[in-house]
């Protein structure tokens, strides 16, 4: 795959030298021009159309973009007629694709110079600016909506970006949360089939809300029951006498309190504009209030609700060195595409994801944990809920597409959704994410919005760096995926009972390889893990990885089978590996007739080819007492400063005598807490047959092709 892409780039370079088809586009151009360097086109779509009309086109067409910010009011579309096109800046001139509008900072008025000053505390009047959006003819503000566990991906509301940094709807507390008090009414519980849509009511236990005058559109966000299910809902009532919140909508599991993670914060409160980046939009008057920085050099508002670019059925399209930003939706959408490459691009300040490869599902109209929906292009919507019930859903993600050397940050709802491949036939897609840096990707939506959602068959994540997230880094579905040479740290910073790399509850999802990755500095005081094989997950090979301070439980296997851990290095954790037999106790109904496990095995015809051939252990799944963990192999692993190497019945483990326990750190003590230092196993005493870890190949690589 890498070789094919490299050859294509060589062809591009050679073709340019030999006078390949080249068009130029400039913000100062005109579509009546011939598209030359001297007389460029004015729009990219004109250059695309010109490329389509080239007679006998066989080689690549280069579309050079002159520097500047290209504002998109609609999606730039590439379809099945578009092949062998390279879209890139000319001579490294900076090019931005924006889905928003830039506001001249001179349009901002200081609050104390307006008639609205009396609405705010006197000490803040000189620190808050005001934009009159009506005077700027901006009226599409979007709507605040609930975001969280079991809720659909949706475009964000209009957001404010100041000096290229995303704003924050004014909140309290600014950088912390408040413990939930006594729950008076847990509300409806949709997860139990209670669709009465009754909100919850609980005591908030602080005097701060007494100072909030505008309570019509206040929202709260928090982990209202379980620690893996964050939610955000609007308040229906705020009782400052009884100190209670009543919500408009229910939480899917009902409201609860008493756990460490049962905490909340409130937002969209004008009185709480008290630090850089905070803002509040008065929708009735069209007034945008925000905290003034010392200097405003750039001010942007997001408007576009659709992808900036869509590649649908295209082949050999390369998009290179472009920044995608200030939009309410995703940067790029791909479907049925082949051998397309996104290279050296930046995706930032987007309301949703950076890139989606594969179809989604139209958002459900009611809150559901799982269900069947209508497949759709250019959205993700209720994909998670649809895939839970329809595990063989083919997203038509195309094949041999690459996202390489890209930087993704400050996105609203995750990084990349990577689909492709057919689970019924086990046909691989060969799509990949390589050498990408992904961080700070949960500005708006937190629960189950990972840096990378990978599904389908035969896709790959390599040499990525993923960090700074409240929840998981990678969520996996499907078969035969590879995660290798990546570094993952500072994720799972808020949650309980969740892993940085997570999959489960489907015994047919097998064939995955996790090798030569570095999981470190994960989690918080709650239960967190590096690799979470949840609810009977099976069939993964984990080889040559480093787990350093990787959560409270670096590896958790919840009743699974056919999992091997070999040649891994565990460092500095209270526990190394946890295995349990949940299918014999609290989760035994998962194995019921017509239960979730049986449905998913039947969906792929697990006892017939190709599954019966590719995964021979699967054929006897029901004959072999699936309630008991089995064929869990641990060999040639090294445990350094691990208080307890494993937890679980000895009969569940195939535990080699070559597993080694040590008290000697394999690196300089001064480096032990560095996020960018990888332990060197050549300093360790190792078991016979140990394969030295290729630490120099882990993480972002220079000159990666």
How far apart are the two ends of the chain, measured CA to CA in Å? 11
Mean pLDDT, residues 518-541 taken together: 97
pLDDT computed for residue 11 by the predictor: 44
Tens-place pLDDT, residues 20-74: 799 999 999 999 999 999 999 999 999 999 999 998 777 899 999 999 999 999 9
Q: pLDDT confidence of 668, banded at 50, 70, 90?
A: confident
pLDDT computed for residue 487 by the predictor: 98
Tens-place pLDDT, residues 151-177: 999 999 999 999 999 999 999 999 999
Tens-place pLDDT, residues 651-667: 999 999 999 999 999 88
Type and span of the H or E element at 288 = strand 287-291
Mean pLDDT, residues 587-592 taken together: 96
Tens-place pLDDT, residues 534-558: 999 999 999 999 999 999 999 999 9
Biggest alpha carbon–alpha carbon distance for the chain: 78
Percent of all residues in the chain with a pLDDT value above 90, rounded to a whole number? 94
Q: What is the distance between the alpha carbons of residues 39 and 35, in angstroms, rounded to a whole number?
A: 6
pLDDT computed for residue 400 by the predictor: 98
Mean pLDDT, residues 500-513 taken together: 98
Instruction: Name the residue among 530, 552, 583, 520 with its Cα closest to residue 647.
Output: 552
- Indicate if the pLDDT at residue 503 is higher than 70: yes
Mean pLDDT, residues 473-482 taken together: 98
Q: pLDDT confidence of 4, banded at 50, 70, 90?
A: very low
- Indicate if the pLDDT at residue 6 is higher than 70: no
For residue 542, CA distances in Å to 68, 508, 649 come to 46, 18, 21
Burial class (CB in 10 A: 0-12, 13-18, 19+), 155: buried
Tens-place pLDDT, residues 184-220: 999 999 999 999 999 999 999 999 999 999 888 999 9
Of how many residues is the chain composed? 705
């Amino acid at each position: 795959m890498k070789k094919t892409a490299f050859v294509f780039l060589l062809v591009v370079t050679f073709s340019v030298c030999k006078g390949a088809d080249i068009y130029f586009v400039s913000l100062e151009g005109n579509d009546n021009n011939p598209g030359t360097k001297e007389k460029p086109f004015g729009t990219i779509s004109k250059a695309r159309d010109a490329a389509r009309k080239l007679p006998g086109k066989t080689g690549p067409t280069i579309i050079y973009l002159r520097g500047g910010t290209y504002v998109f009011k609609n999606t730039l579309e590439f379809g099945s007629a578009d092949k062998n096109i390279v879209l890139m800046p000319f001579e490294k001139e900076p090019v931005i694709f924006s889905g928003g509008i830039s506001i001249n900072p001179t349009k901002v008025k200081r609050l104390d110079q307006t008639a609205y000053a009396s609405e705010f505390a006197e000490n803040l009047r000189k620190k808050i600016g005001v934009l009159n959006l009506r005077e700027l003819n901006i009226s599409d503000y979007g709507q605040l909506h609930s975001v969280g566990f079991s809720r659909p991906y949706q475009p964000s509301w209009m957001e404010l970006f100041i000096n290229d940094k995303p704003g924050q709807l004014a909140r309290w507390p600014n950088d912390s949360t408040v413990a939930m008090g006594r729950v008076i009414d847990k509300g409806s519980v949709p997860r139990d089939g209670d669709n009465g849509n009754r909100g919850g009511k609980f005591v908030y236990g602080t005097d701060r809300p007494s100072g909030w005058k505008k309570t019509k559109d206040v929202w709260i966000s928090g982990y209202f029951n379980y620690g893996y299910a964050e939610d955000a809902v609007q308040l229906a009532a705020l009782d400052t006498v009884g100190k209670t919140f009543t919500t408009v909508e229910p939480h899917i599991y009902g409201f609860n309190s008493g756990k460490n993670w049962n905490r909340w914060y409130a937002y969209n409160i004008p009185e709480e504009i008290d630090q850089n980046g905070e803002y509040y939009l008065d929708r009735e008057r069209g007034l945008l209030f925000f905290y003034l920085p010392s200097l405003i050099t750039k001010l942007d508002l997001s408007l576009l609700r659709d992808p900036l670019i869509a590649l649908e059925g295209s082949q050999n399209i390369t998009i290179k060195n472009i920044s995608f930003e200030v939009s309410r939706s995703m940067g790029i959408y791909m479907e049925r595409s082949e051998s397309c490459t996104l290279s050296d691009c930046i995706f930032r300040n987007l309301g949703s994801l950076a890139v989606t490869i594969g179809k989604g599902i139209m958002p459900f109209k009611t809150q559901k944990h799982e269900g069947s929906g209508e497949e759709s292009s250019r959205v993700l919507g209720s994909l998670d809920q649809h895939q839970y019930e329809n595990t063989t859903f083919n997203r038509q993600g195309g094949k041999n597409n690459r996202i390489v050397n890209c930087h993704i940050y400050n996105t609203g709802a995750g990084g990349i959704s990577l689909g492709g491949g057919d689970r019924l036939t086990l046909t691989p897609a060969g799509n990949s994410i390589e050498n990408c840096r992904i961080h700070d990707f949960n500005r708006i939506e937190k629960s189950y919005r990972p840096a990378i959602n990978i599904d389908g068959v035969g896709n790959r994540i390599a040499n990525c760096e993923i960090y700074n997230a409240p929840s998981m880094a990678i969520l996996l579905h499907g078969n035969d995926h590879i995660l290798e040479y990546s570094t993952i740290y500072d994720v799972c910073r808020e949650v309980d009972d969740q892993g940085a790399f997570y999959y489960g509850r489907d015994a047919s999802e097998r064939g995955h390889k996790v090798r030569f990755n570095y999981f470190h500095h994960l989690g918080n005081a709650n239960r967190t893990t590096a690799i979470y094989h949840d609810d009977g997950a099976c069939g993964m090979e984990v080889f040559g990885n480093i787990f350093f301070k990787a959560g409270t439980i670096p590896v958790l296997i919840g009743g699974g089978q056919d999992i091997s851990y070999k040649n891994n290095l565990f460092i500095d954790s209270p526990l190394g590996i946890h295995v349990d037999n949940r299918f014999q106790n609290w989760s035994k109904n998962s194995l019921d007739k017509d239960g979730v496990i049986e449905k998913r095995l039947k969906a792929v015809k697990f006892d017939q080819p190709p599954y019966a051939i590719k995964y021979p252990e699967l054929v006897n799944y029901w004959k072999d007492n699936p309630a008991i963990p089995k064929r869990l192999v641990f060999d040639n692993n090294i445990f350094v400063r691990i208080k307890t190497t494993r937890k679980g019945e000895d009969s569940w483990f195939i535990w080699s005598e070559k597993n080694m326990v040590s008290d000697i750190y394999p690196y300089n003590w001064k480096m032990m807490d560095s996020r960018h230092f990888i332990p060197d196993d050549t300093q360790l005493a190792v078991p016979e047959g140990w394969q030295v870890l290729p630490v120099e190949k882990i993480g972002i690589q220079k000159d990666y092709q």
